[in-house]
Structure formats: C-alpha cells, structure tokens
C-alpha cells in the first residue's frame, strides 16, 4: 500500500479519465487533499485501493440517431402545418373583425334613425292631441293651420323614411 500525492491531472492520467472526473472521484471518496508549493491541489491516494473502471464515452451511435431524426422531421412538418393554420386563422379573424366593424356602423346608424323617428312620432302625437283638444274651428282658423302643420310633418317624415 503506497500512498501517492497526485494532482488531479496526474490522477486522471493514471485512471484514464479526465482531470474533472478525477477531481469528482476524489471528492466522492473524500480523499485527503493538500496544496503543493506551486498552488495546485494534491490528492493523497492509494491506487491499489481504488478499483475505478472508467465508463465508456457517451457518444451517440448512428443507430440511435435515426429515431431522433425521424422525430425532428415529424415536428418540422407539424410546425409547417401549424403555421399555415395560423395564417388561415388570422385571415378569418381579419374578415370577422371587418364584418363586426361594418355591423357596428350599421347599428349606430339604425339607432340614430330610430331616435329621430321617435322624436318625430312624439311631436306628431302632440299635434294630434292638440287638434283633438281644440275641438271645433275657431275664428282664426288655428285648427286648420295645425292640421296643415300635421300633414306637412307627416309628408316630411314619410320622405325621410323613403330615403
């Protein structure tokens, strides 16, 4: 049992692993460490006690890549399909927004026309009520004038409605 003081690089070379793997091994095994004169860490290790077998490299083999390549191609095709659908959906959205804007304008116009028609109806109802309340024709012919105004208002309202 000979204990040697090795740097991580030297330990890695002896065990056929990288210096980072040697450092990790020293930490896991809680091997005693000290500093050398040049500031490098030295690990006290008995190589006879360490039965370290390095793991094989994790490089991917050609057989393992094929399923991933197929999956990548399937995902690319899905992305293209979804982008095309997004373009179609955006066009539908724009059409519906324009349609909603047109309907809003039409609704506002119809509301304004309805309010104007209600005002004319109220005025005509007031004139009809005044004619009914007036009764017979007086000396000045006010009933005749009111009736003329009523007829003119009806004709005017009819003309507006026909436009």
pLDDT for the residue numbered 143 = 63
Could you tell me the residue range of the domain that residue 24 belongs to? Answer: 4-45
**Cα 144 from Cα 163, distance rounded (Å):** 29
Is 101 found in the same domain as 35? Answer: no
* Residue 114 belongs to some domain of the structure: yes
* Per-residue pLDDT tens digits for 83-123: 999 999 999 999 999 999 999 999 999 999 999 989 988 98
* CA-based nearest residue to 34, from 2, 1, 7: 7
* Residue 55 belongs to some domain of the structure: no
**Cα 22 from Cα 7, distance rounded (Å):** 9
* Residue 92 belongs to some domain of the structure: yes
CB 50 within 8 A of CB 40: no
Is 81 found in the same domain as 35? Answer: no
* Per-residue pLDDT tens digits for 67-82: 888 999 999 999 999 9
pLDDT for the residue numbered 17 = 87
* Residue 52 belongs to some domain of the structure: no
The domain total for the chain is 2
Is 158 found in the same domain as 101? Answer: yes
- Residue with the larger pLDDT of the pair 8 and 126: 8
3-class secondary-structure state, position 75: helix
* Residue 29 belongs to some domain of the structure: yes
pTM of the model: 0.41
Q: pLDDT at residue 132 above 80?
A: no
Is 78 found in the same domain as 156? Answer: yes
pLDDT band at 64 (very low <50, low <70, confident <90, very high): confident
* Residue 25 belongs to some domain of the structure: yes
Structure tokens at 162: 């026909």
């Amino acid at each position: 049992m000979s204990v040697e003081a090795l740097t991580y690089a030297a330990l890695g070379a002896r065990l056929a692993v990288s210096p980072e793997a040697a450092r990790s091994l020293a930490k896991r095994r809680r091997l005693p460490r000290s500093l050398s004169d040049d500031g490098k860490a030295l690990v006290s290790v008995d190589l006879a006690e360490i039965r370290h077998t390095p793991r094989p490299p994790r490089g991917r083999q050609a057989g393992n890549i094929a399923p991933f390549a197929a999956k990548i191609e399937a995902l690319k095709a899905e992305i293209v399909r979804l982008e095309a659908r997004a373009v179609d959906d955006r066009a539908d959205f724009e059409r519906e927004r324009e349609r909603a804007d047109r309907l809003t304008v039409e609704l506002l116009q119809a509301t304004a026309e309805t309010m104007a028609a209600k005002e004319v109806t109220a005025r005509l109802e007031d004139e009809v009520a005044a004619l009914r309340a007036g009764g017979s024709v007086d000396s000045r012919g006010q009933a005749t004038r009111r009736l003329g105004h009523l007829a003119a208002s009806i004709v005017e309202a009819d003309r507006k409605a026909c436009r």
